[in-house]
Amino acid sequence: MSNGTGARATQDKKRSRLGVVAWIVGLLGCLVPLAVVVMAVVFLFTYLGASVPGPDAIKQNQVATILDSRGGEIARIVPPEGNRTDVSIDKIPKAMQDAVIAAEDREFRTNAGFSVSGLARAALGQLTNNADAGGGSTITQQYVKNALVGDERSYTRKFKELAIATKMSNEWSKDDIMAAYLNTIYFGRGAYGVSAAAKAYFNTDISKITVPQAAVLASSIRSPSYYDPATNPAAAQDRWRYVLDGMVTIGALTPQDEASLKYPQVAPPRDTSGNVTSGPNGLIKQQVLAELNSLNISEQDVQTEGLKITTTIDPQVQRSVVSAANGQLEGEPKNIRDAVVSIDPSTGAVRGYFGGNDGQGFDYAQAGLQTGSSFKVFALVAALEQGIPLSKVYSSSSFTAPGGNTVTNSDGESCGSCNLATALKLSLNTVYYRLMLDLDGQAKAVADAAHQAGIAESFGDIKQTLTNADGGGVEGGVVLGQYQSRVIDMASAYATLANQGVYHAPHFVQKVETSDGTVLYERKADAGERRFSAAVANNVTSAMEPIAAYSRGHALDDGSRPSAAKTGTTQLGDTGQNKDAWMVGYTPQLSTAVWVGTDAGVALTNYTGSIVYGSGLPSDIWQAAMDGALDGKPIEQFPEPAAIGGVAGVPYEAPETTEAPTRSRRSQETTEAPSPTTTFAPPSATLAPGVTIPLPGPPTETVVTPTPENNDPFQNGG
């Protein structure tokens, strides 16, 4: 009896649960169609009440301002007035139309003003945080969005956009839509509309635009600053190829036609709006505009929202950086160029930036340059990570490395045998090459440590930094600065050391507001990313602390302010001359990298005709920039390093009892007859003034008669 009652109770509970489920399903079955009906009704009323705006209804342009961290104006972005010239569709080459379709909306000729698949991709991208999924907007939607007054970021605006785009698609021909779009879209360089764009990029009439040129213009629409070939050639050419591939996909080109096309010559940028930002601030402006793109703040926002863009640039640091960069070169040969970047180690904020005096010209702070012995610190980072202490002793004698490379020290410098801290101060190639060979991973361990610290993995045309372009891996020369890095990356990587192993990505933009005070972006404080232990960073700092003073008396604040620094020098082929010289160093508050070179990669000599080394002009600039930037700031001490391998900080090393080698440049730069050395360098090509890239092929053996300090001035006190 009881069993039967229990079974019936269980069945009743199951029926009850099934009934609840059925009720919920039924309710949803009613609500979902009801929601669809409601949305359809709202869409219908929006559709019926909407009017499709013409090109003249585009939102009025507003001036944007770029400010330093204290509100001082760095630059203005003045949208051009009246530069748009409407042209009829028959004046726009079909290749131009096809290129835009390939770039922005490959279903344009067949969709109803919106793309279901595009919307699905965009929605999925939002859910998965996939920035490459695209925005889902068709050409028709983009035109409508640009023409709507009050481009608020909301689902309401998107709903209205869809309704108007649908109505426009029903009432306008595809040619009319294309003409309206091409006459109003922003192409960059202050050019609104395709006619102005043809002038800005190719100085020609739109009717004469060729297929390759059309693909360049279409490439720029997605993000004009980022895809401008004058500022980001690698990204621009990748996007150009994407457009051409799309033209093949839609049948506008054959694969054979595409294969025959070459990237066209593009005119240099010209600011036709009268708002050219001259001097170093012009290069800061370029970096800010490029960074805004990564923050999802569009060119349209910049041109129409009256933005106030607050940067990380500290006016005191910036004044000091510019004054040092220009002042220390007074009286020097006119072909010498320099670059200086200062970064706050605790945040990654760029506080001072000098890439040159031509605000519309080449930015040397973004150039790929060989770093010489300033790269040895990353071998020390790798060693300490593997438990090798600063007290580790190596011979400084010349030797033949695996593969046959003869490794020597510049000017016959030697310590006999000494520890890693002493060898860093003396910048002994032989010691640090031997150290690299002892590392687990050898050359790759050095490259990995540099990447950990903040050296960029790729930039410009270099797909993978610190490795051979032919895929042959990392060569031993990495420890001596064989590969290219940028000035901004060196400042950032050393900043990680200053911040006890915690990395912050370098950045320029702190806050972005619209003219009505709406905050589009504000950078929040973050803890950064630990790349290696505080013990490793602080031991490296300890080894670097004596170097500024040792390097021809470049200590800060007359020796009262602690610093950690390293110089570097690279040779000009087998000429016995130098082409690049560096000084990179930091205090706990600021990391600054200085490069000095020439505007054509030729021999680097000063006003007396003497060879320039890292301990010369670069150190002069570094000291002046840092002293001015930190004037009035508290003097901070570096933390005491924890022990690694039983040793904390620079170990005591007894003075040499044997006669030391004669040092030739304690206080001045001269030339004398040194002994020859053999170097191994990969073939390279010059991309821009002072900028070279490795080329495929085996390294070339060069017997060099080096002047003292061929790789580093600390070896000779210069």
The rounded distance, in Å, linking the Cα atoms of 583 and 572 is 18
DSSP-based three-state secondary structure for 694:
strand
The rounded distance, in Å, linking the Cα atoms of 498 and 508 is 19
Contact 710, 412 (CB under 8 A): no
Degrees to nearest 5, angle at CA 118 with 112 and 124: 145
Which residues pair with residue 692 across a beta bridge?
Answer: 686
**Beta strands at 73-77 and 564-571: parallel, antiparallel or unpaired:** unpaired
Catalytic residue, from 115, 219, 373, 563: name it: 373
Q: Residues near 276 by Cβ (< 8 Å), separated by ≥ 6?
A: 282, 359, 360
Rg (CA), the chain: 31
Which residues pair with residue 565 across a beta bridge?
Answer: 585
Structural element, H or E, at residue 152:
none
Catalytic residue, from 104, 291, 475, 545: name it: 104
Handedness of CA 40, 51, 126, 311 (dihedral sign): negative
Which residues pair with residue 639 across a beta bridge?
Answer: none
Please confirm, yes or no, whether 104 is among the known catalytic residues: yes
- 245 is written with which tokens? 């591939």
**Beta strands at 308-311 and 677-681: parallel, antiparallel or unpaired:** unpaired
Please confirm, yes or no, whether 219 is among the known catalytic residues: no
Degrees to nearest 5, angle at CA 110 with 107 and 116: 60
Which residues pair with residue 684 across a beta bridge?
Answer: 694
The rounded distance, in Å, linking the Cα atoms of 631 and 644 is 35
Which residues pair with residue 512 across a beta bridge?
Answer: 309, 521
Q: Which residues are catalytic?
A: 104, 373
